[in-house]
Amino acid sequence: MPGGIDPHTHLAMEFMGSETIDDFFSGQAAALAGGTTMHIDFVIPVNGSLSAGYKAYVEKAKRSCMDYGFHMAITKWDETVSEDMEIMVKEKGINSFKFFLAYKGSFMVNDELLMEGLKKCKSLGALAMVHAENGDAVFEGQKRMIELGITGPEGHALSRPPVLEGEATARAIRLAGFVNTPLYVVHVMSIDAMEEIARARKSGQRVIGEPVVSGLVLNDSVLWDPDFHFAARYVMSPPIRAPGHGTALQGALATGLLQLVGTDHCTFNSTQKALGIGDFRKIPNGVNGMEERMHLVWDTMVASGQISVTDYVRITSTECARIFNIYPRKGAVLLGSDADIIILNPNSSFEISSKSHHYRTDTNVYEGWRGKGKVEVTIAGGRIVWENDELKVVPGAGKYIEMPPFSYLFDGIDKADAKYLSSLRAPVKRSTT
């Protein structure tokens, strides 16, 4: 089958006073061992500058051992940012921009900035993406937990409940509908957010929902573990939810309400996570997933009978390639496609362990998971890079994949705009006498 494409990763990212422990070589090597042959990482602007952020990430990616693309985050708004967005789309091969509705005081944008960004994305044929949590309410929730003396990892989940994810998802969807531009909601973690996406899609709006592996297979009971170091490894945003949310997300994925699976791979080691001892607000957010995604989705969704093998290929590879406009170069095994191919043995077993994974981090949130369906061979760009449980990767072998604008999600947008304008019956000519 085609190699996996992970639409959501953070390698060598500076965040919350630390830098993620996996870089563009270690994270990618681990991904190849798990059957993923391309990923799309998020470029974070430098002091709000898109150009400076892009240059920094080009440098970070020089040791890449597999193909990758870039999304771009937008953290402020002015004329320079607007102009840089055009450069990123027309010259740098970036066709998606992410807006954080969370992380007040750092990445968070307000509704005015989001509206400007949505309009600019539409004009460029670029896909607007949102991290959907109400950052102002989360800030209030964090204060409330600290006042109650709840300072451990469980405070993280309690301070940002599903209702705040649902509210921000609904708000972003409605604003995107107002502008009439497609929207991609990253790391959908709750029933609340999923139902907003389902409602919008049912009405005909172009909204993509991306659950991540941690949200599909884990639940928040781990955050109440008495061992801080164990509980802290599971801190991510939006948080892993209570039992029931993951099962609902699996069902939404199986029925097409959600479209593809990412990881939000963003790893910190035990020492880095310990920065939040005594204050959960200082625990660097993020979990692993690049190496485990293909195995866990097969074990959870295919081996259990929830989806077909064809659906598996769609949600782990093909749909991502279509959304980001690189199909059939990626996401397919066809004449002319890149030779990114995996061989998965459905009868072979896998076991996940921090002792055998290929990351630099010393923990794994899926520690001890045993399942069916193992990737036995990974071929990237025509080269065998994983075989007989052995990696054969070369720094610098990975290529940057440019992603052109105006994917299929933009088909017919102009006609919908014309229909809207003709429906206004305005301006009305009135007598002023």
Predicted local confidence at residue 432, as pLDDT: 87
* pLDDT tens, position by position, 347-400: 999 999 999 999 999 999 999 999 999 999 999 999 999 999 999 999 999 999
| CA–CA gap between residue 220 and residue 167 (Å, rounded) | 20
Q: How sure is the predictor about 189, in pLDDT bands with cuts at 50, 70 and 90?
A: very high
Predicted local confidence at residue 266, as pLDDT: 97
* pLDDT tens, position by position, 278-291: 999 999 999 999 99
* pLDDT tens, position by position, 210-260: 999 999 999 999 999 999 999 999 999 999 999 999 999 999 999 999 999
Mean pLDDT, to the nearest integer, of 59-74? 98
* pLDDT tens, position by position, 334-344: 999 999 999 99
pTM of the model: 0.97
Predicted local confidence at residue 288, as pLDDT: 98
Mean pLDDT, the chain, whole residue set: 97
Backbone angles phi, psi at 424, to 5 degrees: -70, -30
Predicted local confidence at residue 18, as pLDDT: 84
